[in-house]
Amino acid sequence: MSVPSRIAGLIAAQTQAQRARLRLAAAGGAVVSVAAVGLLGLSGWFITGAAFAGLAGAAAAQSFNYMMPSAIIRLLAIVRTGGRYVERVAGHEAALKALARLRPQLFDAIATGPAERALNLSSGEVSARLVQDVDAVQTLFVRRSAPWSLGAGAVSAVLLASLASPLAGAALLGAMLAAVLGGVLIARRLADPAGRAVQTGAGALKDRLAALEAAAPELKAYGLDDWACAQVARVAADHDAAQIALTRSGGWMAVWQAAASALAVGVVIPAASSADLPLIALAALAAVMGVESAAGLVVALQQNGSAAQALSRLDAAMPTASPLHGRPISGAALGLANLGADLSPPFRLGVFGPSGAGKTTLIERLIGLRTPQAGEMRLGGMDAVDIAPEDRRRLFAYAAQDVRLLNGSVRENLLLAGPADDAALWAALDDAALGDRLRAEPLGLDTPVGPNGERLSGGERRRLGLARAYLRDAPWLVLDEPTEGLDAATEAQVLDRLQNRLAARGQGLILVSHRAPPMALCERSIRVEGLASDGHIRLTCSPADLAA
């Protein structure tokens, strides 16, 4: 049984929400096609009729009614312009409003889904999917007026051609079918693969740029600028090749459209040869505009591959399984396999071990960022496997070793932890030994930190992440290498204030560190030995100590 597409469901919901604008855009597109076919067809009839009236002599010229046709031609020109305006404004407004709602929904779906899925996507790839891929979905809304434009143009063109001869109308209908079928064939053979390659290439290019940008200082320090440029150039060349292929497919579609127009005129004129010359001119020009009315559909077909690939990439970034809903957690008691009695706040547990042994993995499994093994850990007396990740996360305030900051202000980065007033923000900054530094800034809490905190030092970024964790009200505070990169004086200040904060709040502490001063805060400690063959994390500690 196939899993339903979540992105398709989100798009369907937005289509329903924007149905009024989409209907208005479809009506505008139909009006444009009818007015364009009528305008050119009537203009051909009028010019030819007026020419023959002039050749017939002064009497015929005087009797020729030019007022009504010229008025209708001017009216059709105005209607076509107005219809085009309505179609473009309504269609693009629907698309932009839909995309403005889709992006937060997509981000929420990724953020609240299985953490492994989000963690396995690089920042560049996530950015590409939320920007380029969502932009490509725009065509699904804009092109909804294309079938209506084509249908209205085809009907009006066939009716006008039939005024010259029913056979001319039938011949035009056949030529228009050939134009559409040829466009579909070219789109599937050329445009679809190229469009898919463009979307994939854009994601790969942004991913590579983001990765190299993050390592820019190291690349410059080791003289690898040229290597990095070559890496980007290689990925960019693949993307450019896909863009060229997509543009080339558009050229072939334009050539086919021109050939289809010539075909339509070539079959309509002989079929209408028994009619008067003005009617033959009307039928021929109506044929040209009838085929032209398919242009919107052809453009949509050219973008179909990009849209399809974008949908596929967005679906791949979203969770496909329903979130786990288990029994409510009773209490915040923490238990680890083979380590004795469960621990409850305000207990302080230290975690240490060699680099790469799995300390951070243990923490991420515990707090719901990765899936734990069965029987590996308990929360509230329940196996963590049976607890939904979002329920586990509510028990922990986490300051990761790799601090991620928004390109915004200090205040905005702190408020990621939840609502808080300025007094609480300053208190958290003071406890992280960062308050005095920011009070010296003219903007205070509104001081910008730059992309990923580049305006702050490494120690300041770490302490800002620590302050953010302090603002989250949770039974356990989880800190991963909280004093890494700090000088001895600052480390002592941070640890002293952390000690006071824990004592005042009765919060439990789980601290990962390889340094002695932070570990001195902990009542007991465990050593992470590495991953076992069954996927469990091997821990060693004295059960008697934990039970004490």
- Cα distances from 51 to residues 277, 278, 288, 435, in angstroms, run 11, 9, 21, 87
Give the pLDDT of residue 56. 57
What is the topology classification, in CATH, of domain 6-317?
A: ABC transporter transmembrane region fold (1.20.1560)
Which of 122, 132, 130 lies closest to 195 in space, CA to CA? 132
Domain spans in the chain, listed from the N-terminal domain onward: 6-317, 334-547
Give the pLDDT of residue 547. 40
Give the pLDDT of residue 320. 59
Q: Is 192 left (phi over 0), alpha (psi -120 to 50) or beta?
A: alpha
> Sorting pLDDT into bands at 50, 70 and 90, what band is 257?
confident
Give the pLDDT of residue 64. 56
Span 227-245, average pLDDT: 93
3-state secondary structure of 56: coil
Give the pLDDT of residue 548. 40
Tell me the pLDDT tens digit for each residue of 462-509.
999 999 999 998 999 999 999 988 899 999 999 999 999 999 999 999
Give the pLDDT of residue 339. 66
Which of 90-94, 261-265, 337-341, 462-466 is most confident?
Answer: 462-466
Span 215-239, average pLDDT: 90
Vertex 416 angle, CA 213 and 475, to 5°: 120
Portion of the chain with pLDDT greater than 70, in percent: 89
Span 333-345, average pLDDT: 79
Portion of the chain with pLDDT greater than 90, in percent: 28
> Sorting pLDDT into bands at 50, 70 and 90, what band is 390?
confident
Rounded to whole angstroms, the Cα distance separating 85 from 80 reads 9
| Lowest mean per-residue pLDDT among 337-341, 372-376, 481-485 | 337-341
> Sorting pLDDT into bands at 50, 70 and 90, what band is 510?
very high
Write phi, then psi, for 419 (nearest 5 degrees). -60, 140
pLDDT greater than 60 at residue 165: yes
Rounded to whole angstroms, the Cα distance separating 124 from 451 reads 13
> Sorting pLDDT into bands at 50, 70 and 90, what band is 524?
confident
Rounded to whole angstroms, the Cα distance separating 132 from 139 reads 12
Please report, in angstroms and rounded to a whole number, the separation of the first and last CA atoms in the chain. Answer: 53
> Sorting pLDDT into bands at 50, 70 and 90, what band is 240?
very high
DSSP string, 305-352: HHHHHHHHHHHHHS--SPPP--PPP-S--EEETTS-S-B-TT-EEEEE
3-state secondary structure of 293: coil
Are 49 and 278 in contact, with CB atoms under 8 Å apart?
yes
Which of 282-291, 334-343, 449-458, 499-508 is most confident?
Answer: 499-508
Higher model confidence: residue 29 or residue 120?
29
Are 157 and 177 in contact, with CB atoms under 8 Å apart?
no
What is the 8-class DSSP label of residue 402?
A: S
Rounded to whole angstroms, the Cα distance separating 110 from 349 reads 31
Span 249-262, average pLDDT: 89
Pick the CATH number of 334-547 from 2.60.120.10, 3.40.50.300, 1.10.150.530, 3.40.50.2300: 3.40.50.300
Average pLDDT of every residue of the chain: 84
Dihedral sign computed on CA atoms, order 286, 290, 293, 298: negative
Q: Please count the other Cβ atoms lying within 10 Å of the Cβ belonging to residue 505.
A: 13
- The alpha carbon of 506 is separated from its chain's Cα centroid by a whole number of angstroms, namely 42
Tell me the β-bridge partners of 511.
Answer: 350, 479
> Sorting pLDDT into bands at 50, 70 and 90, what band is 1?
very low
Give the pLDDT of residue 430. 95
> Sorting pLDDT into bands at 50, 70 and 90, what band is 3?
very low
pLDDT greater than 70 at residue 239: yes
Tell me the pLDDT tens digit for each residue of 405-443.
888 999 999 999 989 999 999 999 999 999 999 999 999
Span 227-254, average pLDDT: 92
Q: Give the side-chain half-sphere CA count within 13 A for 84.
A: 11
Higher model confidence: residue 47 or residue 411?
411
Span 144-161, average pLDDT: 85
Q: Which strands make up the sheet holding 476-480, listed edge to edge?
A: 396-399, 476-480, 508-512, 348-352, 524-531, 537-540
| Lowest mean per-residue pLDDT among 236-240, 250-254, 343-347, 534-538 | 534-538
Which of 145-154, 312-321, 344-353 is most confident?
Answer: 344-353
| Lowest mean per-residue pLDDT among 219-233, 287-301, 355-369, 509-523 | 287-301
> Sorting pLDDT into bands at 50, 70 and 90, what band is 63?
low
> Sorting pLDDT into bands at 50, 70 and 90, what band is 2?
very low
- The alpha carbon of 507 is separated from its chain's Cα centroid by a whole number of angstroms, namely 38
Are 147 and 30 in contact, with CB atoms under 8 Å apart?
no
- H or E stretch including 512? strand 508-512
